[in-house]
Structure 1
Amino acid sequence: MMELSEVIRVRHAVRRYTDKPIPQDIAVELQNTIDQYNREGNLSMQLKLNDPAAFEGFLTDYGIYKGARNLVAIVSDRTSDWEERCGYYGAHVLLRATQLGLDTGWVRQFGRHLRRHVALEQGERPRFAIVMGYGVSHGHQHKSKRYDQVARVPDGMATPTWFRAGVEAALLAPTSLNQQKFTFALRSEGRTVETKEGFGPCTRTDLGIAKCHFEIGAGPDAGFVWA
């Protein structure tokens, strides 16, 4: 099984799927992952499998999802940080699905007909969805910004290897309309990383996804902290 550092490099968005079902053992692994990150992120992500009508006629800014029948609905409460939490913990689920051999796509428009797939507690709303399954192809790489367009290091400071690796991993994160409107800045003491989202649709959620990627790219021994 691939390490997550490799997963973020090979995963691409997929919108055309075959009718091959997700095996039970993989479904169990997915559910265990969802349960873990629901607890950690105070979310209500929900796995829904084998519904051929789930995305029928569903048009997004990216086009139509064809053959898609499996999804994870990302559901949250309305607390102020819900956008970043959905991105950060949803990204963990998406990468785990890829690690398990599935193709994936992040759906940022939760259409009305998708709402019938979710159970909502008081104060909860469906925010996004992750489509998954076995793609007709594995997608392709999209154009990315350069490291120096999103990274900031104090003048005169040598860039730590872990910081550059983290930023480069963040640049592989899926973002709305591929806008990549985030920045990562290292403070002068060389340990604290500041982040900032830009302006545009879903930028706070995109930042959460990018932070997940950054942590994976930087590695468990980087020893940095978020500002």
Structure 2
Amino acid sequence: MSFLELAKDRYSMRKFSDKPVEQDKLDLILEAGRIAPTAHNNQPQRILVLNTPAEMELLAKCCPFRFHQTLALVVCYEKEVSWKRKDYDNADSGEVDMGIVGTHMILQASELGIGSTWVMQFDPQAVRREFHIPEALVPMAILMMGYPNEEAKPSRLHNDRFELSKTVFYHTFQG
């Protein structure tokens, strides 16, 4: 399958089966996150793996969404490690880096037949409290994962995309 086919086929899954994700597949997903490029190669990503029923119950205290997932990856970055744009506005690359890391992991999961949903709607302080995440780490996203339930399907909006002309523009030299 080509990359564009993989990217087009992947969708936010909201119905997972009971089948747990095998350790060897989890290892590949985590490896995809490990090799993701980060600003200045600082590698600030810190991924919390949750894959037990007890951990899913704790996660429910932090996040309003439950899709019967068997695996959740809490994607965090370490504030003191992420690169900062110091010469200009001190922007922190941690959020962008975690977007790249998370994308690598969900696409690797998809290639393995494992569905995922990227969740940003969660209480970061509850995540810190329930999972003892130190203040130095910033929880950015929760990637809920698992094998598809037989009823799983993309949302009706999955294939709705703007034309490139609406999202891309070119600089025109005015010299």
More displaced stretch, 134-143 vs 83-92: 134-143
Q: Which runs of 5+ in 2 are unaligned?
A: 85-91
In the alignment, structure 1 residue 145 sits paired with structure 2 residue 162: yes
Query: May I ask how many residue pairs the two structures share in their alignment?
Result: 151
Give the secondary-structure state (helix, strand or coil) at the position aligned to 1:30.
helix
* % identical aligned pairs: 17
Q: Distance in 2 between matches of 1:38 and 1:50?
A: 29
Q: Distance in 2 between matches of 1:126 and 1:53?
A: 18
Counterpart of 1:74?
75
Give deviations 1:112-144, integer Å, cap 9, x for gaps: 554434643x52121111111012214232522
Please report the TM-score for the alignment, with normalisation by the length of structure 1.
0.57
Greater RCO, 1 or 2 (C-alpha within 8 Å, sep 6+): 2
Counterpart of 1:46?
48
In the alignment, structure 1 residue 127 sits paired with structure 2 residue 140: yes
In the alignment, structure 1 residue 110 sits paired with structure 2 residue 122: yes
Q: Distance in 2 between matches of 1:24 and 1:98?
A: 16
Q: Distance in 1 between matches of 2:2 and 2:73?
A: 22
Task: Judge conservation of contact 1:55–1:69 (CA < 8 Å) in 2.
Answer: no
Deviation at 1:69? 3.0
Give deviations 1:97-123, integer Å, cap 9, x for gaps: 111111111111233554434643x52
What letter corresponds to residue 6 of structure 2 in structure 1?
Answer: V
RMSD: 2.7
Q: Distance in 2 between matches of 1:36 and 1:101?
A: 20
| TM-aligned CA distance change 1:50 to 1:34, over 3 Å | farther
Task: Judge conservation of contact 1:110–1:126 (CA < 8 Å) in 2.
Answer: no
Please report the TM-score for the alignment, with normalisation by the length of structure 2.
0.71
Where in structure 1 do 4 or more consecutive aligned residues deviate above 4 Å? none
Q: Which runs of 5+ in 1 are unaligned?
A: 156-186, 188-227
Counterpart of 1:196?
none
What letter corresponds to residue 66 of structure 1 in structure 2?
Answer: F
